[in-house]
Amino acid sequence: MKRCVSADSCFGNYLEKRGDVNTAFDRFEDQSVKCGYGQHGVCCRLCSNGPCRITPDSPKGVCGATADTMVSRNFLRSVAAGAACYLHVAESTASRLKSIATGISPLPLRSEKSVDELAALLGIAGSSTNEKAGKIADAVLADLYRPRNDKMELVSKLAIPARVKKWQKSGIMPGGAKAEVFDAIVKTSTNLNTDPVNQLLHCLNLGISTGLYGLAMTNLMNDIIMGEPEIGIASTGFSVASPDYINIAVSGHSHSIFAGLIAMLESDRGQQIGIDAGARGIRIVGLTCVGQDMQLRANASGKNVFVGQAGNNFTQEALIATGAIDMVISEFNCTLSGIEPIAERYKTKLICLDDVAKQSSALMLNDEKGQELKLAEEICIMAAEQYRLRRDQITIDVPRHGYNDVVTGVSEKSLLKLLGGNLNPLIELVKNGTLKGIAGILGCSNLAAGGHDVNTVALTRELISRDILVLSAGCTTGGLANCGYCSLSAKELAGPGLKAVCEKLGIPPVLNFGPCLAIGRIEIVVSELAKALEVDIPQLPVVISAPQWLEEQALADGCFGLALGLTLHLSQPPPILGSPIVTKILTEELVNITGGKVIVEMNPVIAADKLQQVINEKLAALGIGV
């Protein structure tokens, strides 16, 4: 049977061995014939006169919509959906922070230091840690719920002044984030906005609230609830799932929703439930981004509970087919629908904690504020019952897979600590030419850009060989870690300058920032670099790439990067090529608005050439590193 390939050869070999399990790698080949109209964004099904599609013989829809209108409308609607997803996570996290701060939830705030630092950044005062934490939550929620014509107050505190000034001048400063999403949906409905420029500006507006609230602010609030990241050594791959334990796999993006479960499993009571079932205890295995978030903060919460990150989104079906997973808990997206028949076959219990992630065969449990520990105990008991039910009825086959020397826990704060308290050592390495620049390899994994993680790995290898330091966040990190690029030994793949830096600092050439939410952390690092050099972000020798972007959230992430003024590389174009206007704006004219632009290039070597050229131009303009 023909099957999509993976950059992770060990994982690919396991898939070949397990031909009895239908996964996304099989279904991708079944769906190999794509709709050209959909790929170019020139189809519309908003009304009963359609679906309409643009062709040379029919250049307008029934309503008169042109290709430019269709493409920009479809693109804005997708970006709005992606922004909504991230804002849902930010809202959920702020609500939990509020419930803990006010004593409704019995959970601790694990980092008082994070409370003090964030309160100072936002200009919030209080007589106690809990009071300040509660006011932080209130400020975030107030901004999310503002009317659209009421600008969000925290934007100017979270972004550097030069960017805020540029956004104000360009008319893309966001009002209340949820209202902006709401009106984007209104704007893209039948016979409403037909202006592609207006709609693209709205995309940038949504990108700002996505990045500053859905990404950066969510991280900062999670640091308070779950503890700050610390650089350390961790394990990845299927081998983290030990058959001796009850294994609960977690999938989603909202780390704090698992605060109660982690607290329960850190207690004697939680582990005793597993021991009483005949196991050595209960452990958590990371699947998608929330697992990478747990790995990021494992030294602060769940150190002896979280065993490692198994892989990124497209490894989950095969992981369940090993038989080692007793329960999967989903609280947000990236949980593939394809796990349901596999979970049924291997008697793996599926649980959902948020109805936005409800799967048809999963049990929905109510995540009620104040009842987190009760819910966690219920989950542990259910997992133990599932362990008793299934373990003598299935065969467990966990391949040797992954690495146990992955450097993790990198954040804007832990990186500063590693560098001695400021970014000057990193800046000096760029100024003296030891490092040729910095690239963010961000976002999703997909199967379309050459195969699972194929383009991500190829581009990353090309960049580090050119002495370009890579910062990774998202499912890209899951793939790169499982292919060895986040391990210290990967320094051998780096160019001489970057290799020397790796040896001196004890780091790999790819810095593992963790989940896709950590794109917000990389933005903080970039902003601090800009402040240190006294320039605006578009002037920095920094580029970003989402080589294997997958979904609507990735489009919202990309709009954030473009609003920041960064050059964004994509291996595959979003569905915009049917509109000459939209394509030209994003690839050529946007640089005159925000400083950002899009480069589309499938070939990783040519893509690296183009990104390096952008970096070199930035260095030359600054008069450094050349």
- Pairing, β 327-330 against β 306-309: unpaired
318: nearest Cα among 13, 101, 114: 13
Question: Which DSSP state fits 442?
Answer: E
Neighbours of 400 (CB within 10 A): 9
- 364 and 249 both lie in a single domain: yes
The one-letter amino acid code at 624 reads I
Distances (CA, A) of 510 to 227, 270, 313, 329, 451: 23, 36, 20, 29, 21
| 39 belongs to a structural domain | no
Per-residue model confidence as pLDDT tens digits over 290-338: 999 999 999 999 999 999 999 999 999 999 999 999 999 999 988 999 9
DSSP run (H or E) holding 155: helix 155-158
Q: Of all residues in the chain, what percent carry a pLDDT higher than 90?
A: 98
Per-residue model confidence as pLDDT tens digits over 98-114: 999 999 999 999 999 99
- 433 and 549 both lie in a single domain: yes
| 331 belongs to a structural domain | yes
Stretch 5-20: mean pLDDT: 94
Number of domains into which the chain is organized: 3
- Pairing, β 542-546 against β 246-251: unpaired
Does position 507 have pLDDT exceeding 70, yes or no?
Answer: yes
- Inter-residue contact 178 to 145 (CB < 8 Å): yes
Does position 493 have pLDDT exceeding 90, yes or no?
Answer: yes
SS (H, E, C) 277-305: CCCCCEEEEECCHHHHHHHHCCCCCCCCC
Range of the domain at 330: 237-390
- 383 and 427 both lie in a single domain: no
| 218 belongs to a structural domain | yes
Domain C-terminal end among 390, 421, 454: 390
What lies within 8 Å, CB to CB, of 267 at 6+ separation is none
- 489 and 589 both lie in a single domain: yes
Maximal CA-CA distance, the chain: 71
d(CA 411, CA 226): 14
Domain C-terminal end among 226, 245, 280: 226
264: nearest Cα among 377, 387, 378: 377
- 368 and 413 both lie in a single domain: no
d(CA 421, CA 575): 43
- 273 and 380 both lie in a single domain: yes
- Inter-residue contact 94 to 141 (CB < 8 Å): yes
Query: What CATH number is associated with residue 87?
Result: 1.20.1270.30
Does position 626 have pLDDT exceeding 70, yes or no?
Answer: no
Query: What CATH number is associated with residue 281?
Result: 3.40.50.2030
| 59 belongs to a structural domain | no
Axis crossing angle, helix 67-101 with helix 552-564, rounded to the nearest 10: 90
| 24 belongs to a structural domain | no
Mean pLDDT value across the chain: 96
Per-residue model confidence as pLDDT tens digits over 47-94: 999 999 999 999 999 999 999 999 999 999 999 999 999 999 999 999
| 60 belongs to a structural domain | no
- 589 and 505 both lie in a single domain: yes
- 489 and 345 both lie in a single domain: no
Does position 154 have pLDDT exceeding 80, yes or no?
Answer: yes
- 281 and 366 both lie in a single domain: yes
Q: Of all residues in the chain, what percent carry a pLDDT higher than 70?
A: 100
d(CA 594, CA 327): 46
| 8 belongs to a structural domain | no
- 356 and 463 both lie in a single domain: no
- 580 and 447 both lie in a single domain: yes
Task: Give the confidence band of 213 by pLDDT, cuts at 50, 70, 90.
Answer: very high
| 378 belongs to a structural domain | yes
- 546 and 434 both lie in a single domain: yes
Beta bridge partners of 151: 175
